[in-house]
Chain A
Amino acid sequence: MIERVHEHIIEELRTNTRTDTIFVLTSIVLNLISLAVNAIIASNNNDTSATIVMFTFVALIIVVNIVAEIGLVRGRQTRTKLTNGLLKMYKDNNVEGYYDSSLLDNYKTRYNLFMLVVLFTGLVALIVPFIIR
């Protein structure tokens, strides 16, 4: 039974990794697309309709980035819980020596860096069109 649980945790970890990758990549791509669209709008048009479109994309950037951040924080928490479960399992089976618990800190740092990248691309996508305008 413990083997099935172990497999289940590993599978959960894989799913978690995939989801986090999707969150990071989607937010970065959408940020860059929004940056391109808003920069074109800002450099070509000064009228009201262009401003509305620009602010719509600004709203999109904000929502996408906050969703990505929440997703990444939750992903990190999920990963921590799953890894803690694994560690406990390894401890119960006296094989905890093979799994370094400092890996958890590494994951935490990695998630924070992902969030920083998402935040900064979002900020660039927000500010640059306003500077051009």
Chain B
Amino acid sequence: MRVINTKIFLRLGLLFAVAMSLLAGLPFSVFAQTEKTVLTMNVLYGNFNNTVKAGQDNIIYFQVGNGGNVSLNHIVFTALVPEGWTVTFNPDSIESLGPGAYSTVEANVRPAGSGERDNTISFIARSNETQQVLPVYTQLESTSGYWIWIGSGIAAVCIAVFIWVFFRLNRKQT
């Protein structure tokens, strides 16, 4: 019984305080939802194992999402890549992405014929409100197995020369 009375008194006290504030014209704050602009980017690794083939088209899919509570407008995609590399996006821009919405973007990475083996590509998504950078580590892979054939060819020539030298010198002895 006593507990109920205490609660009623507390509520009445709070109401009285608010009423008095309004009457006296004192300022009081109203909690409003703040604008949050969050652009997220993730590589869809199911289609990508971090290796890109030199001089060929390599498709990397990534997902852009709006993790905020306002729409993101005119999202344009660009990329920072090593010299000689090209990247094209499909779509190359998104007009609007609502809160909580996601969209998949296809990036076609075409590396140069040769270069450093370890590289990082930075995918950049820039909207009117915010921007996001997605660094992706890649390993450059030779386009074909022709190096193995070159190595095998050199090895075969070496074996032939070795045998030729061996028999020629042995013949000279006799």
| Closest beta carbon of chain A to B120's beta carbon, Å | 15
| Closest beta carbon of chain B to A43's beta carbon, Å | 7
Is there contact, CB below 8 Å, between B151 and A46? Answer: no
A127→B151 CA distance, assembly (Å): 5
Q: Which residues of chain A come closer than 8 Å to B159, judged between CB atoms?
A: 119, 123
A46→B173 CA distance, assembly (Å): 46
Q: Does A8 contact B (CB under 8 A)?
A: no
Is there contact, CB below 8 Å, between A47 and B114? Answer: yes
Q: Does A109 contact B (CB under 8 A)?
A: no
Q: Does B118 contact A (CB under 8 A)?
A: yes
Nearest chain B residue, comparing its CB with the CB of A129: B151
Interface majority SS (helix, strand, loop, mixed), chain A: helix
Instruction: Specify which of B115, B118, B147, B162 is in contact with A66 (CB 8 Å cutoff).
Output: B162
Q: Does B107 contact A (CB under 8 A)?
A: no
- Assuming the contacts A73-B165, A133-B142, asked whether A126 and B158 have C-beta atoms less than 8 A apart, the reply is yes
- Assuming the contacts A66-B161, A122-B158, asked whether A130 and B116 have C-beta atoms less than 8 A apart, the reply is no
Q: Which residues of chain B come closer than 8 Å to A43, judged between CB atoms?
A: 117
Task: State the total of A-B contacts with C-beta under 8 angstroms.
Answer: 68
Q: Which residues of chain B come closer than 8 Å to A119, judged between CB atoms?
A: 158-159, 162
Q: Which residues of chain B come closer than 8 Å to A56, judged between CB atoms?
A: none
Instruction: Specify which of A62, A80, A115, A133 is in contact with B158 (CB 8 Å cutoff).
Output: A62
* Chain B, range 94-115, C-beta contacts under 8 Å to A: 114-115
Q: Does A70 contact B (CB under 8 A)?
A: yes
Q: Which residues of chain B come closer than 8 Å to A58, judged between CB atoms?
A: 154
The 3 closest A-B pairs by CB, nearest first: A130-B151, A73-B169, A133-B147
